[in-house]
A and B are shown apart, each in its own frame.
Chain A
Amino acid sequence: MTERPDTTPPPPPLPRSPVNEEELLPQLVSHLREHRTKLRQEWAARIQGAGLLHAMTPQEMAAETTSVYDNYVEVLETGSVEALQRYARDLSERIIPRGVETHEVVGIVLLLRDVLARSLFEKYQRDFALLNRVLDAYEPAANRIANTVAVSFVDERERVIRQQQDSIRELSTPVLPVRERLLILPMIGVLDSERARQLTEQLLTGIRTHRAKVVVIDITGVPAVDETVANHLVRTVDASRLMGASVIITGLSPDIAQTLVTIGVDLSKMDTIGDLQGGLEEAERLLGFSVTRGDGTGTM
């Protein structure tokens, strides 16, 4: 009671709770360390019972629960949130690619909080006053841990998702200058409106920077497009022509051809070639000419 201000009268001594505040937490921590194996297993069982982390193998689960447990107890001991944040970020980075969801992470941390709280309850249940003080010390710390882990996880998850989207975007619409005045746009994967927009920006500015006269858009790797995207594609082709570039489309699947016809595109006015090789040959042929006219390209 030495730390208390002079004005506060010392509380009456608790008959069966000789532990003072400063010793509470260390005592709690050593209890959790002592029963580490049993508590960790109990926790893992609860996680499985709740159907959480099913994306992980038993080995991964054992490794992660052990390391989360140790970190958890360490944060209780030191109160250092920085270390916890660092750990939570690392953990998130490891488990996000495994498809772990936010509610699972929050769920397992809350389970651990409750498993440990129950263990403390069992240990101190005969000294109710002491139990109350132990839980008073434990609960705010435990909630802070749960909060920190959840926030770190969500942050990390958003960062990873953003990063993935950016890199997918960059990879998915590369504008490749194969030779002077010739661009190739190999497109792979599902083409949604956002990607279609990106494609337009990249292609049209690409025509300008590379002074392209011919563009080959290869859509062999695009399974299907909806009408909005098909429309966007056609507009991009027409806009390229207004900038003086001829567009050759290769790898047009029957499905996409059908969509184009549905939205009223006259396929005979589009320069479509079966495969990329044929498209490149046609491009060479066009580049042999000094003008882009006669076949309907490059006019407004």
Chain B
Amino acid sequence: MGATDFIGAREDPSAPDVAALIPMVRRVIGARVADPTTAEDLVQETLVRVLTAAPRVEPGMLEPYAIVTARNVVTSLWRQQDRDRRNQHRVVDLSPPDAPDDDMLAREEQEAVAAALARLTDRERDTLVAHEVSGQDTRSLAEELGSTAGAVAAQLNRTRARLRVEYLLVRENVEPPTDRCRPVLLALSGGDRRRQREVDAGRHLLECEVCARLSPPLMERTQSRDDELRIPIAVDADVVAARQAARELASRLGFARTELTLIATAVSEVTRNIVRFAGAGEVVVELLDQPRAGVRITARDTGPGIPDVQAALADGYSTYNGLGLGLPGARRLMDEFAVVSESGRGTTVTMTKWCDAR
């Protein structure tokens, strides 16, 4: 049964008469769902959705829209057991609460979602709703928008990322304290690592309490990467943890044992600097595959910063009772090494070791 059976069956599109759609929706659903009670529920659900969308639907397009919606409602029933999985990419669970006690929570949740939706642009919101709620696929959305399915999908991902951020801001009832907050949260929410580097998300999370508090649920979705490790640094024991984590992750690339120890030693040196001079920070270990296999270590802190980086990189510089080999020593162990330090804001050391083909 195709949608074309019904197109043009009605000639009066100006006043959407949803009731007139009922027989057709019943037929569509009845052909797919045997149990009459379930079928009737789905008919009602379909009509509600059509009714909500009616003002935005092009004149004359209500029937096809209803058919597509009816089919999607049936499909989503079939996928009921997969619902959790389907909802995973949403920050909000849109399914109704199980227990009456949850009603209020659910209502607050819905209000937060509504408020978050209101912060999107019209176009963002319409596309998202058409896709997420009405189940319209990216190809037909692309046709409507005069775009490509790939572009629509990318746009949808960005919109979802924004929705998650706005939802969190509404729910926590906070305004981002700086103008860097939103870009950082968006980059985290989208899971786009290049963008995260561009906005220096790691550093911002160290500096901004609000974003640090908001970010965990955003990161959980992307934290599943297994080629990246993030180790918070505060005490002596973290130095050992960081260098062992770096060694373990890097060992996946086929580094020789000696090189793994060079990496671990370099991590030890730069991490100790965090504990000594800054008190707190983090070490991020990432495996790289571009331009070739390698491991990148980023050690950042929110300490006082290094007044003279050039001097700190020269041999013999030391402000604690050590050998002063920290930064210059670590630099000798790695292939690439960069220090960025700002007085009063902290220091970021980025160092890379490439894994030569072997």
Spell out A's residues near B (CB within 8 Å): 194, 197, 200-201, 204
Contacts and interface: CB of A to CB of B under 8 A. Distances in A.
Contacts of B257: 201
A201 B356 contact: no
B258 interface: yes
B118 interface: no
- Where chain A touches its partner, the secondary structure class is helix
Contacts of B356: 194
B356 to A, nearest CB: 7
6 contacts: A197-B258, A197-B259, A200-B258, A201-B257, A201-B258, A204-B258
B235 interface: no
Nearest to B256: A201
A194 B259 CA distance: 12
A154 B291 CA distance: 24
Interface string B222-264: 0000000000000000000000000000000000111100000
A194 B355 CA distance: 11
Given A197-B258, A200-B258, A201-B256, 6 more contacts: A194-B356, A197-B256, A197-B259, A201-B257, A201-B258, A204-B258
Interface of B: 256-259, 356
- Counting chain B CB atoms within 10 Å of each CB, the highest count among A197, A200, A204 belongs to A197
Nearest to A235: B332
Contacts of A197: 256, 258-259
- Counting chain A CB atoms within 10 Å of each CB, the highest count among B257, B258, B259 belongs to B258
Contacts of A200: 258
Nearest to B259: A197
A201 B9 CA distance: 81
A201 B259 CA distance: 10
Top 5 closest pairs, chain A to chain B, by CB: A201-B258, A201-B256, A200-B258, A194-B356, A197-B256
A197 B355 CA distance: 12
A200 B256 CA distance: 11
B97 to A, nearest CB: 61
A204 B259 CA distance: 13
Contacts of A201: 256-258
Contacts of B259: 197
B194 to A, nearest CB: 31
Contacts of B258: 197, 200-201, 204
A194 B358 CA distance: 9
A263 to B, nearest CB: 12
Contacts of A204: 258
A61 to B, nearest CB: 35
A204 B261 CA distance: 14
Nearest to B257: A201
A207 to B, nearest CB: 13
B186 to A, nearest CB: 43
A14 to B, nearest CB: 45
A204 to B, nearest CB: 8
Nearest to A204: B258
A208 to B, nearest CB: 12
Contacts of B256: 197, 201
A37 to B, nearest CB: 47
A197 B259 CA distance: 9
Nearest to B356: A194
A194 B256 CA distance: 11
A240 to B, nearest CB: 13
A17 B232 CA distance: 81
A201 B258 CA distance: 7
A194 B357 CA distance: 10
A197 B257 CA distance: 11
A200 B356 CA distance: 16
Contacts of A194: 356
Nearest to A197: B256
Nearest to B358: A194
A201 to B, nearest CB: 6
A200 B258 CA distance: 9
A299 B257 CA distance: 23
Nearest to A193: B356
A201 B260 CA distance: 12
B315 to A, nearest CB: 11
B261 to A, nearest CB: 11
A197 B258 CA distance: 9
A25 B256 CA distance: 56
A200 B262 CA distance: 13
B146 to A, nearest CB: 42
Nearest to A231: B332
A230 to B, nearest CB: 15
B263 to A, nearest CB: 14
A204 B257 CA distance: 12
A118 to B, nearest CB: 43
B217 to A, nearest CB: 45
B306 to A, nearest CB: 26
Nearest to A194: B356
A200 B259 CA distance: 11
A252 to B, nearest CB: 24
A75 to B, nearest CB: 35
A21 B356 CA distance: 54
